[in-house]
Amino acid sequence: MNIDVLTLFPDFFSSGLQSGLLGKALANAIATVNLVNPRDFATDKHHRVDDIPYGGGVGMVLKPEPMFAAVNSISRLPRSQVILLTPQGSPLTQTTLQDLATNYQQLILICGHYEGVDERIRYLADREVSLGDFVLTCGEIPALALINGVVRLLPGTVGKVESLKAESFEDGLLDYPQYTRPAVFQGWEVPPVLRSGNHQLIAQWRRDEQIKRTQQRRPDLWEQWVQERRSEQAE
C-alpha cells in the first residue's frame, strides 16, 4: 500500500514511522509512506500556507492553493482514497481501518493545522476522519494513528494472523483480560481456568469476560452488539 501524507511538519513522523512493527513493515516494503510538504507548493516568496479567515476570528486558516497543488502532484493508483483528518470527521473505528486496509491501494492523508482548513479543501477529500470528540494541535497525530492501524492489518505486518482476530473491536466486543507469569503477583492470582489446560473452558471464560467487560466499560458497544445479534437471528 502507498500512503501519502500532506504535512507541514514532516519531522513529526520520524520516530513513529521507524518504531516497532510499523517500522519493520515499512522497512520490508509492506507499505510505503511518502511525506509531502504543502509549503513546497506555495507560490509566494515566504511560502505561506495560511492566512487570516474571512469574517474575522482568532487564528489562521490553511489556504486552498498549496493543498490542491500538493494533492494534484501525487501520482494516483486506481484504488485510492483522500482522507482529511479533522475533528469534524467520522470517528476512526476498527471497521474503518479494515475497510481502508482491504479495499484501497493508496491513501492520501491531509493533516489539518492552525484553526482549521479553508472549507474548499474539503472538496479534495473522499472522507473525513476524526480520532474522537476532542481537538488536537495538529492532524499529524491522527494521521500517524491511522497509518499504524491500517498497516498492522496488512498481510505480513503481524506474525500471527490469529492475533488480529481475537482483540478489541474485531467482533464488536472489547478484548478479554490477558495474564502471564507469575501466577500470583502481589496477591493477585491468574484465574485458575487459564491454567487448567482445558481449551474449551478457556474459550468460554474469555468470551464471558469480553461480554462482561464490554457491558461495564462500553455500554454503547454492548447495545450495538446485541442489536446486531438480534438482526442476524431475525434473518
- What is the structure's pLDDT at 166? 56
CA gap 48, 66 in Å, rounded: 9
What do you get for the CA distance between the two ends of the chain, in Å? 36
Question: Mind listing the pLDDT tens digit for each residue in 144-196?
Answer: 999 999 999 999 999 766 566 556 676 889 999 999 999 999 999 999 999 99
The separation between CA 8 and the C-alpha centre of its own chain, rounded to angstroms, equals 20
Give the burial class of 11: count Cβ atoms within 10 A of its Cβ; 0-12 exposed, 13-18 middle, 19 or more buried.
exposed
Q: Is there a shared CATH topology between the 2-151 domain and the 166-234 domain?
A: no
Using alpha carbons, select from 147, 110, 130 the residue that is nearest to residue 16: 147
| Sequence ranges of the domains in the chain | 2-151, 166-234
Q: Where are the beta strands (DSSP E) in 181-224?
A: 184-185, 188-189
Give me the residues paired with residue 113 across strands: 138
- What is the structure's pLDDT at 172? 87
Question: Mind listing the pLDDT tens digit for each residue in 43-83?
Answer: 999 999 999 999 998 899 999 999 999 999 999 999 999 99
Topology of the domain comprising 2-151: Alpha/beta knot (3.40.1280)
CA gap 62, 110 in Å, rounded: 11
According to CATH, what is the number of the domain 166-234? 1.10.1270.20
Question: Mind listing the pLDDT tens digit for each residue in 79-121?
Answer: 999 999 999 999 999 999 999 999 999 999 999 887 889 999 9
Query: How large is the average pLDDT for residues 8-22?
Result: 96
